[in-house]
Structure 1
Amino acid sequence: MDPAGFILYLLRYIPREGEQLRYANLRMTVIRMKGPKIERVQIRREERS
Protein backbone atom coordinates (compact mmCIF):
# COMPACT_ATOMS: atom_id res chain seq x y z
CA MET A 1 0.00 0.00 0.00
CA ASP A 2 1.35 3.44 -0.90
CA PRO A 3 1.10 6.49 1.40
CA ALA A 4 -1.96 7.85 -0.43
CA GLY A 5 -3.74 4.52 -0.06
CA PHE A 6 -2.84 4.39 3.62
CA ILE A 7 -4.33 7.86 4.17
CA LEU A 8 -7.54 6.85 2.38
CA TYR A 9 -7.70 3.68 4.47
CA LEU A 10 -7.37 5.63 7.72
CA LEU A 11 -9.73 8.49 6.82
CA ARG A 12 -12.35 6.47 4.92
CA TYR A 13 -13.15 9.55 2.80
CA ILE A 14 -11.50 11.66 0.10
CA PRO A 15 -9.44 14.38 1.82
CA ARG A 16 -8.93 17.97 0.68
CA GLU A 17 -5.63 19.69 -0.02
CA GLY A 18 -4.03 20.85 3.20
CA GLU A 19 -5.80 18.27 5.35
CA GLN A 20 -3.61 16.71 8.03
CA LEU A 21 -3.71 13.35 9.72
CA ARG A 22 -1.72 12.05 12.67
CA TYR A 23 -0.85 8.39 13.04
CA ALA A 24 1.55 7.19 15.75
CA ASN A 25 4.46 9.64 15.57
CA LEU A 26 3.76 10.68 11.96
CA ARG A 27 2.01 13.79 10.66
CA MET A 28 0.76 13.39 7.10
CA THR A 29 -0.38 16.38 5.05
CA VAL A 30 -2.19 16.16 1.71
CA ILE A 31 -0.26 18.58 -0.50
CA ARG A 32 -1.92 18.13 -3.89
CA MET A 33 -5.12 16.49 -5.14
CA LYS A 34 -6.16 15.81 -8.73
CA GLY A 35 -9.86 15.06 -8.62
CA PRO A 36 -10.33 12.22 -6.13
CA LYS A 37 -6.67 11.16 -6.42
CA ILE A 38 -4.05 12.12 -3.86
CA GLU A 39 -1.10 13.33 -5.95
CA ARG A 40 1.36 14.45 -3.26
CA VAL A 41 1.70 13.79 0.47
CA GLN A 42 4.15 15.20 2.98
CA ILE A 43 5.06 12.90 5.88
CA ARG A 44 6.91 14.19 8.91
CA ARG A 45 8.04 12.35 11.98
CA GLU A 46 7.16 14.09 15.25
CA GLU A 47 9.07 13.63 18.46
CA ARG A 48 7.08 12.03 21.22
CA SER A 49 6.86 13.98 24.44
Structure 2
Amino acid sequence: MLIFLFFVFRKALLHAEHNRRDAYLASAVDMGDLERRMRSAQFDG
Protein backbone atom coordinates (compact mmCIF):
# COMPACT_ATOMS: atom_id res chain seq x y z
CA MET A 1 0.00 0.00 0.00
CA LEU A 2 2.82 2.41 0.83
CA ILE A 3 4.46 1.76 -2.55
CA PHE A 4 1.19 2.52 -4.30
CA LEU A 5 0.88 5.84 -2.45
CA PHE A 6 4.46 6.69 -3.35
CA PHE A 7 3.74 6.16 -7.06
CA VAL A 8 0.51 8.15 -6.91
CA PHE A 9 2.29 11.02 -5.16
CA ARG A 10 5.17 10.88 -7.65
CA LYS A 11 2.77 10.94 -10.60
CA ALA A 12 0.96 13.95 -9.12
CA LEU A 13 4.26 15.82 -8.67
CA LEU A 14 5.36 15.08 -12.24
CA HIS A 15 1.99 16.24 -13.54
CA ALA A 16 2.27 19.49 -11.58
CA GLU A 17 5.80 20.05 -12.91
CA HIS A 18 4.65 19.54 -16.50
CA ASN A 19 1.79 22.00 -15.98
CA ARG A 20 4.17 24.57 -14.48
CA ARG A 21 6.60 24.20 -17.39
CA ASP A 22 3.81 24.43 -19.96
CA ALA A 23 2.52 27.63 -18.38
CA TYR A 24 6.05 29.08 -18.32
CA LEU A 25 6.56 28.33 -22.01
CA ALA A 26 3.08 29.55 -22.96
CA SER A 27 3.78 32.94 -21.42
CA ALA A 28 6.56 33.69 -23.92
CA VAL A 29 5.99 36.93 -25.82
CA ASP A 30 7.69 35.97 -29.09
CA MET A 31 9.62 33.13 -30.76
CA GLY A 32 12.97 34.34 -29.44
CA ASP A 33 11.64 34.41 -25.90
CA LEU A 34 10.12 30.96 -26.38
CA GLU A 35 13.44 29.55 -27.59
CA ARG A 36 15.29 31.06 -24.62
CA ARG A 37 12.70 29.63 -22.24
CA MET A 38 12.91 26.20 -23.89
CA ARG A 39 16.69 26.15 -23.52
CA SER A 40 16.39 27.32 -19.92
CA ALA A 41 13.79 24.66 -19.13
CA GLN A 42 15.93 21.99 -20.77
CA PHE A 43 18.96 22.85 -18.64
CA ASP A 44 16.95 23.26 -15.44
CA GLY A 45 15.58 19.88 -15.38
TM-score by length of 1: 0.29
Q: Which has the larger radius of gyration?
A: 2
Which structure carries more strand by proportion? 1
Which structure carries more helix by proportion? 2
Give the number of the structure with larger relative contact order, counting CA–CA contacts within 8 Å between residues 6 or more apart: 1
